[in-house]
Homo-oligomer: A and B are copies of this chain.
Amino acid sequence: MTVPTSAQPLARRADAQRSIAAILKAAVNALSRDPDASVSDIAKAAGVGRVTLYGHFPNRADLVEAALAHAIDQGHAALDAVDLVGDTRQALTRLIDSSWLLVNQSRALLLAAQAVLPPSRIRDLHAGPVERVEGLVKRGQDDGAFRSDLSTSWLVGVMHSVMHTAADEINAGRLDPDQAAAFITATVLAAFTPPGRRVPA
């Protein structure tokens, strides 16, 4: 008990920390491939006994939640590098370029989470990323670059779902992965254009 001054992350042994990291990584990986991956599968992929896993995560739901949180944190951090100042449309384009692959790769993981966690919990976990996008969209609405006749959350939702569409089209073999980003931005920018204004070419 070396000075547990307060409710800290609870200093585990170096040993355990390694295990947890491995499990988290394996979980994200496995669940991204197959949302129905079993706890055994994940433990195996992590190079860890199933019992060990249960030692750190009480049940499957907690594990999935941790995995999702982990993936979101990673993505969120990666997007910190994106420059969101300057022309709003260009900023959105940059954000889409960096985001969409992440969104795509985490689709199955998200599905796994939806099967186990209440919608509210999932929304909470996404609060960070959503806030970032929402802020940008709102700025665009304020400066007149984006339409204001539709709500901010709607536009954010549309952007999100267009990215999913890209993923679908790709693995249906109808879209070249290299073109995906261009298709998405072209679509989203048009959808966001205020009525009466010309769609950017």
A contacts, CB < 8 Å to B: 119, 123, 147, 149-151, 153-154, 157-158, 160-162, 164-165, 168-169, 171-172, 174-175, 183, 186-188, 190-201
B-side contacts of A149, CB under 8 Å: 186
- A55-B149 Cα distance, complex, nearest whole Å: 54
Q: Is A158 touching B186 in the complex (CB atoms < 8 A)?
A: no
Additional pairs, 13, CB under 8 Å, beyond known A157-B169, A161-B162, A195-B201? A123-B172, A147-B190, A149-B186, A150-B187, A154-B174, A157-B165, A161-B161, A161-B165, A190-B190, A190-B192, A190-B195, A191-B191, A198-B199
- A154-B162 Cα distance, complex, nearest whole Å: 10
Contact of A199 with B196 at beta-carbon distance under 8 Å, contacts A169-B154, A172-B123, A187-B158 already known: yes
How many copies are assembled?
2
Q: List 17 A-B contacts (CB under 8 A).
A: A153-B169, A154-B169, A154-B174, A154-B175, A154-B183, A157-B168, A158-B162, A160-B165, A161-B165, A162-B162, A187-B191, A190-B191, A190-B199, A193-B193, A195-B200, A195-B201, A198-B198
- A144-B169 Cα distance, complex, nearest whole Å: 24
- A45-B162 Cα distance, complex, nearest whole Å: 37
